[in-house]
Amino acid sequence: MRIPPHYQQPSWQRFFAGAAIGAIISWGVFLFIFGVIQEKHKTIIDEQELTIQKLRKDKEIYQEEYIKLNKEAQQKITVQEINIHLTNGDKYLFKDFMIKNIEDEVEKDLSDLIAKDIESVSSSHLLIERTIENKVFKRDGKEYKLEMTKFMLLTTIYIEVEISFLE
């Protein structure tokens, strides 16, 4: 068997040359189009990665703020501190340290209220008042009692009391 001698004919040579050149040109066009498409996809992916990073940072910031606000809200809901103020201690000629001792004793009695929620403290307002008013103080051989004049309930309990002789 013999291969036909088509390679010697100029028309066939032009056909094969054209086919080879067309294959090379089409391969070049394919690579160019594929490269352009890949470049577009790469830019889209880069933009999406930047967007994802920004969203993750935003999410972290919002989560930190959310945790912070929850802690603040939780602290606002509970009693954090108790302040007692004796208003008429000077009337009975008490020294500052005696007034401070009386205030500290009342605070010590009410220290159970710290870290309790405000609703339960407000519902036990009368119990707090009776606790303060039933306390008897003995100073210099005399007995004194307290009377609650002002009660403010926020995250800090502020109570003003007046002292008088026990009858």
Structure confidence by residue, pLDDT tens digits, 35-59: 999 999 999 999 999 999 999 999 9
The predicted model scores a pTM of 0.58
- What confidence score (pLDDT) does residue 54 get? 96
Q: Taking the alpha carbons of 118, 120, 126, 132 in that order, is the dihedral positive or negative?
A: negative
What percentage of the chain's residues is helix, strand, coil (to nearest 5)?
65, 20, 15
**Structural domain spans, the chain:** 6-75, 81-165
Q: Which of the four pLDDT bands, split at 50, 70 and 90, describes residue 19?
A: very high
End-to-end CA distance of the chain: 140
Which 8-state DSSP code applies to residue 78? B
- What confidence score (pLDDT) does residue 6 get? 65
Per the structure block, which two tokens stand in for 83? 């302040």
Edge to edge, the sheet with strand 81-86 lists 81-86, 156-165, 142-153, 136-139
pLDDT tens per residue across span 68-110:
988 887 777 888 899 999 999 888 888 888 899 999 999 999 9
Query: What integer best gives the mean pLDDT of the chain?
Result: 89
